[in-house]
Structure 1
């Protein structure tokens, strides 16, 4: 398990990402919710090409809820699994309109009631749309937390989330959720991690550093 402190790790991460961001473009919780559903097994770049057209046609969840599936499919057909995603987006927006007065809820329990939203996506929405502490565990975070930095030895996203929630104080969850995703995506990559450029290299226990 990790041999460094939370403070050590965050100080070094902040050299890479003093103000971390999310690559998906959005202006409100509704837009981020749709974008995260579209982003599953697709690239953020591709999603960012589609969403301006989507939100121009469907500015609110109410607009999506009453739209024909074919209209939604036509706009999003360049993403993977677009038929399934169109159905989920429509069902999600219908639920938001029927049960949450047309607003994306701002707590984990209610967000998880929305079709197409799992725990990772719910955490992304809480952190990035509402600035509410949560731990995002995506493929990048799993790689960084388990095989590289060894903060967790969890085999499931749920266990990894619990380990990260213990290691990092709650006041740092928002920062960590954004920074670890970027770090895993751009520095601590799956193939050929950029260890020579990494400010964590001196405390990282990974055995196969790319030096």
Structure 2
């Protein structure tokens, strides 16, 4: 068992150090070349794999290149064009609504504030954070996807379940300069090792400081005592 760390902040710094070394080239895995393409890709990625989104978007981005293209399309046509994406019918409505709202309220441009982005159809804090970070180089928070949600709880960095509450906890313990990379590191680790089912704890670089792996002998991150 590793040396106890006396706070969640210390635990987080150690986790980041190890994951930076393990995944030095990690970055966003969605393919895009414009802010609009990024926004669309992230909306489509909800409960869907990035690999599938990239496959569908390869053709989608050839056909739809402006907010007007999405606004003028029927939901039925959009649903057909994104078939294979999870909840494609609902997301078709989001894309049409996004196109319309970008035209009506933002002069056809993808906005650069959390408030304006989360006002768009189908856009919550997760999507808005991704767009701000990768389209506008603005970091206001931490993207909490399923990997971040799962691994943060396994590492006892949070006990919350809602993404918004998890984000608030993480923003209190993750150094602000690491907010953007935190998500990419956790996604890479979630895909490679700390999977939802049957995580590979034997080969995990965090095993000796992970309460979930240590079981009854795990470290209480708040006190440094066993629990």
After TM superposition, the score normalised by the length of structure 1 is 0.90
Q: 1:100 aligns to what?
A: 106
Q: 1:46 aligns to what?
A: 52
> Aligned pair 1:173/2:188, yes or no?
no
> Aligned pair 1:206/2:221, yes or no?
no
Q: How far apart are the structure 2 equivalents of 1:18 and 1:82?
A: 34
163-172 or 150-159, larger mean C-alpha shift: 150-159
Q: How far apart are the structure 2 equivalents of 1:30 and 1:3?
A: 36
152-161 or 166-175, larger mean C-alpha shift: 152-161
Q: 1:139 aligns to what?
A: 146
Distance 1:64 1:163, change over 3 A: same
Unaligned runs of 5+ in 2: 1-6, 216-227
Displaced runs of 4 or more, over 3 A: 1-6
Asked if the contact 1:132/1:174 (under 8 Å) is kept, the reply is no
Q: How far apart are the structure 2 equivalents of 1:125 and 1:5?
A: 28
Q: 2:20 aligns to what?
A: 14
Q: 2:73 aligns to what?
A: 67
198-207 or 25-34, larger mean C-alpha shift: 198-207
Asked if the contact 1:4/1:203 (under 8 Å) is kept, the reply is no
Q: 1:78 aligns to what?
A: 84
Paired residue total:
208
- RMSD (Å) for aligned C-alpha atoms: 1.8
Candidates 181, 189, 199, aligned match of 1:193:
199
After TM superposition, the score normalised by the length of structure 2 is 0.84
